[in-house]
Amino acid sequence: MPVIDLARLAARLPARPLTRFAPSPTGYLHLGHVANAVWVWGLARALGGRVLLRLEDHDRGRCRPAYESALLEDLEWLGLFPDVGTVAELRLGPSPYRQSDASESYEAALARLGSHAALFACDCTRKDLARESGDVLNEETPYTGRCRSRRLARATGRGLRLRVDPGVERFEDARIGPREQVPAVQCGDLLLQDRVGQWTYQFAVVVDDLRHGVDLVVRGEDLLESTGRQLLLARQLGRAAPPVFLHHPLIRKPGGEKLSKSSGDTGIRELRAAGMAPSEVLGRAAFLTGLRAIDVPLAPAELANLFGTG
């Protein structure tokens, strides 16, 4: 049984759809990234589409040029070549496919939002937010709306939020099926720019998918819950047809724990140093995310076959 209904997905997309591989250069490439790449390139090839490579380095404090170079080199080693935002182009210097080079695009998007939506400055610290919500603060603690009516001016040291009104976001994930989410309850007013002036992941990625014309977003299912807020933001930015989302299974450690960049034991560089061939790394990533029943080598040219075509 195929992992997804490819014909149904194709019918929801334009001809030669654009999808994207969008890692953050905050560490070395690991098997979790390769798993995502296998789904991205596999689907693009099976659909007759294209892959865009985007460097998501909006978090200036955690990204390093050395990680970016390593990432580009590792992708070449794996034989994964993007069609848009090529490695050669990204190595050349400033690029529209690197977030830190795209500040003007985010400012322009903000101006567009400001004209018809509710933006407000917010000076809440993590401490304020924790006190307000009365419990332990984590990434999913919804914003309480503390600064909504304070009419603070946009200024250094203040973040910027978009008011999120109650409402249900409905979408059909291409693997998981129909979903309903309520961003006002899940996260509340969305932070677009943080207190040190950095664009947030949620804002940058929605602006990027719009300006790059991404039709299909293929990502790990740990990000499933943020889909509704991205659809809402895309609509407010004037996007008529939202991208189709597909969330794939994550690679888990034997204990069930999600893999992270800090688990160096699965870093591509370590696997490479241990003598694994690129096709063996691709095959393992496909196996560990349920695309293949056995752990055998997979050549880049075979990626489309994972989805029942090629």
Residues binding Zn ion: number (CB under 5 A): 4
Measured from the CB atom, is 30 or 146 closer to Zn ion? 146
Q: According to the binding rule CB under 5 A, does residue 158 interact with Zn ion?
A: no
Contacting range for Zn ion; rule: CB under 5 A; set: 101-109, 122-130, 132-140, 191-199:
122-130
Window 231-270: contact mask with Zn ion (x via CB under 5 A): ----------------------------------------
**64-96: b or e for each residue (b if 16 or more CB lie within 10 Å)?**
eeebbebbbebbeebebebebbbbeebeeeebb
Closest separation in Å from C-beta 128 to Zn ion: 7
Q: According to the binding rule CB under 5 A, does residue 187 interact with Zn ion?
A: no
Measured from the CB atom, is 71 or 122 closer to Zn ion? 122
- 190-193/159-162 β-pairing: antiparallel
CA distances from 279 to 13, 36, 38, 104 (A): 29, 15, 11, 40
Q: According to the binding rule CB under 5 A, does residue 124 interact with Zn ion?
A: yes
Are 72 and 82 spatial neighbours (Cβ–Cβ below 8 Å)? no
Q: How many other CB atoms are found less than 10 A from the CB of residue 292?
A: 18
Helix axes 65-78, 31-46, angle to 10 degrees: 50
The pair of three-digit structure tokens given for residue 209, joined into one six-digit string:
């998918």
CA distances from 249 to 84, 159, 173, 211, 296 (A): 26, 33, 13, 27, 19
Closest separation in Å from C-beta 122 to Zn ion: 3
Distance separating alpha carbons of residues 236 and 113, to the nearest angstrom:
7
Q: According to the binding rule CB under 5 A, does residue 206 interact with Zn ion?
A: no
Measured from the CB atom, is 121 or 286 closer to Zn ion? 121
Closest separation in Å from C-beta 146 to Zn ion: 4
Measured from the CB atom, is 143 or 199 closer to Zn ion? 143
160: enclosing H helix or E strand: strand 159-162
Closest separation in Å from C-beta 147 to Zn ion: 3
Q: According to the binding rule CB under 5 A, does residue 122 interact with Zn ion?
A: yes
Closest separation in Å from C-beta 123 to Zn ion: 6
- The only residue of 4, 55, 147, 207 in contact with Zn ion, by rule CB under 5 A: 147
Measured from the CB atom, is 143 or 171 closer to Zn ion? 143
- The only residue of 30, 33, 58, 146 in contact with Zn ion, by rule CB under 5 A: 146
Backbone angles phi, psi at 194, to 5 degrees: -90, 180
Residues that bind Zn ion (CB under 5 A): 122, 124, 146-147
